């Protein structure tokens, strides 16, 4: 019986012979990345320069800088060179892995990115795990109980979650859970009582390695609210996507056949239907990476989470050209890589995509 179940519908494990089409597919995708990379670099470079003001002007605040001094400092920073020279200089740097140094802090952009990115990654991973673990079951339940009060309330909550302004939502949670109830800490990554060297940059892991009693528990407690806030929108999107994909699949002939064969409802829904419904859901999850990074900017600001979102926002305000263009490039590269992985995974699950 168990073996027989695989004959229904296009199985996820069904494969064409050989790896060649898969490799061709991957290389094809990689080739597309080159123009994308160039395009992003141009946008990153020009976007920050299109904003009025320049980093030198902002250095002195209310105190007006003499025009001669302004010219001198712009020259020192190489910002008086023609735009195309600056662009090719920056592009040349990118190719050799040199992302330049921050105009404000004078630290190398790559160092700061590597230092701060684990915090963003840790938060985003936790958020996406929560979103998937709650979103898929919620979507499945809503689809199965279609039209009932349960479906309507789940989707109602999802709609509210989807439209939630993150900043307001975060503050609300802080005021209620941290301020009023005192259950969770307000902001930061771990209690200031604990202090240990950054090894992996993931606070959950580092706190365990540190061997300090209570450190891990503290790190978890600091992670709860930001995770909830960041997971809210992807959770809502995944739940809605799962529901609609499930509804489509539940109407398919092979599901009806499976049902009529007398398979248990759990098996029909959990194995036959969900497996196929997951294909578009995985795409959605992949697309949420961009949403997560956008959400991370606000979440990190509210929760004083030392990640790249907060870092980028500060740099835009200070017109720190090097950080903004370098940071955007690094973030874009991350998203491109993740999308590539999702594409490949998708091609792997669904052979039709490869051709």
Partner 1 sequence: MKKLSTLLAATAIATLMAGSAWSKTFVYCSEASPEGFDPGLYTGGQTFDAAAHTVYNRLVEFKRGTTEIEPALAESWEISADGKEYTFKLRPGVKFQTTEYFTPTRELNADDVIFSFERQYKADNAWNKYVPGASWEYFSGMGLPDLLEKVEKVDDLTVKIVLKRPEAPLLANLGMPFISILSKEYADKLQADGKMELMNQQPLGTGPFTFVAYQPDAAIRYKANPDYWGGKQKIDDLVFAITTDAAVRAQKLKAGECQLMSYPNAADVAELKADPNLNISEQAGLNVSYLAYNTLVPPFDKVEVRKALNMAVNKQAIVDAVFQGAATVAKNPIPPTMWSYNDKVEDDKYDPEVAKKMLEDAGVKDLKMKIWAMPVARPYMLNARRAAELMQSDLAKIGVTAEIVSYEWAEYLKLSSAKDRDGAAILGWTGDNGDPDNFLDTLLGCDAVGGNNRAQWCNKEFDDLVTKAKETSDVAERTKLYEEAQIVFKKEAPWNTLDHSLAVVPMSKKVSGFVQSPLGDFVFEGVDIAE
Tokens for 208, please give them. Answer: 């365990």
Q: How far is the CB of 198 from partner 1 (least distance, A)?
A: 7
| Least distance (Å) between residue 70 CB and partner 1 | 9
**For residue 254, with 0-12 CB atoms within 10 Å meaning exposed, 13-18 middle and 19 or more buried, which class applies?**
middle
Q: By C-beta, is 22 or 79 nearer to partner 1? A: 79
The footprint of partner 1 (CB under 8 A) covers 51-54, 57-66, 69, 73, 76-77, 101, 103-107, 112, 115-116, 171, 174-175, 178-179, 182, 185-189, 191-193, 195-199, 210, 212, 301-304, 306-307, 310-311, 314, 319
Shortest separation between residue 232's beta carbon and partner 1, angstroms: 18
User: Minimal distance in Å, beta carbon 286 to partner 1?
Assistant: 28
Residue number, 88 or 168, with CB nearest to partner 1: 168
Minimum distance, C-beta of residue 40 to partner 1, in the bound complex (Å): 24
How far is Cα 321 from Cα 325, in angstroms, rounded to an integer?
A: 6
Region of 127 on the Ramachandran plot (φ > 0 left; ψ -120 to 50 alpha; else beta): alpha
Q: Which is nearer to partner 1, 271 or 316 (CB)?
A: 316
Q: For partner 1, give the closer residue by CB, 124 or 288.
A: 124
Question: By C-beta, is 153 or 198 nearer to partner 1?
Answer: 198
224, with CB counted inside 10 A (0-12, 13-18, 19+), is middle
In whole angstroms, how close is the CB of 291 to partner 1 at the nearest point?
Answer: 22
Nearer to partner 1, 32 or 111 (CB): 111
């Amino acid at each position: 019986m168990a073996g027989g179940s695989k004959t229904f519908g296009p199985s996820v494990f069904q494969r064409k012979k050989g790896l060649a089409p898969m490799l061709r597919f991957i290389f094809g995708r990689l080739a597309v990345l080159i123009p994308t990379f160039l395009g992003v670099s141009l946008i990153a470079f020009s976007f920050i320069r299109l904003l009025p003001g320049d980093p030198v002007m902002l250095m002195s605040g209310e105190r007006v800088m003499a025009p001669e001094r302004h010219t001198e400092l712009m020259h020192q920073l190489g910002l008086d060179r023609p735009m195309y020279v600056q662009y090719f200089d920056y592009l040349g740097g990118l190719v050799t892995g040199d992302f330049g140094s921050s105009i404000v802090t004078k630290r190398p952009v790559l160092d700061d990115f590597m230092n701060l990115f684990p915090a963003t990654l840790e938060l985003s991973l936790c958020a996406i795990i929560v979103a998937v673990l709650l979103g898929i079951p919620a979507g499945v339940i809503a689809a199965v109980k279609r039209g009932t009060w349960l479906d309507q309330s789940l989707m109602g909550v999802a709609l509210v979650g989807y439209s939630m302004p993150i900043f307001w939502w975060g503050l609300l949670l802080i005021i209620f859970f941290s301020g009023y109830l005192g259950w969770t800490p307000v902001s930061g990554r771990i209690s200031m009582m604990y202090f240990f060297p950054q090894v992996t940059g993931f606070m959950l892991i580092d706190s365990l390695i540190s061997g300090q009693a209570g450190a891990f528990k503290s790190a978890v407690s600091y992670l709860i609210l930001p995770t909830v806030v960041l997971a809210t929108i992807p959770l809502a999107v995944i739940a809605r996507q799962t529901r609609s994909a499930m509804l489509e699949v539940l109407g398919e002939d092979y599901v009806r056949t499976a049902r009529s064969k007398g398979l248990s409802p759990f098996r029909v829904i959990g194995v036959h239907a969900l497996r196929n419904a997951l294909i578009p859901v995985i795409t959605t999850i992949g697309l949420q990476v961009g949403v997560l990074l956008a959400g991370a900017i606000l979440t990190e600001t509210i929760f004083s989470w030392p990640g790249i979102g907060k870092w980028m926002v500060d740099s835009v305000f200070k017109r720190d050209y090097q950080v903004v263009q370098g940071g955007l490039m690094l973030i874009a590269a991350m998203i491109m890589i993740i999308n590539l992985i999702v594409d490949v995974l998708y091609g792997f699950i669904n052979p039709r995509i490869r051709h």
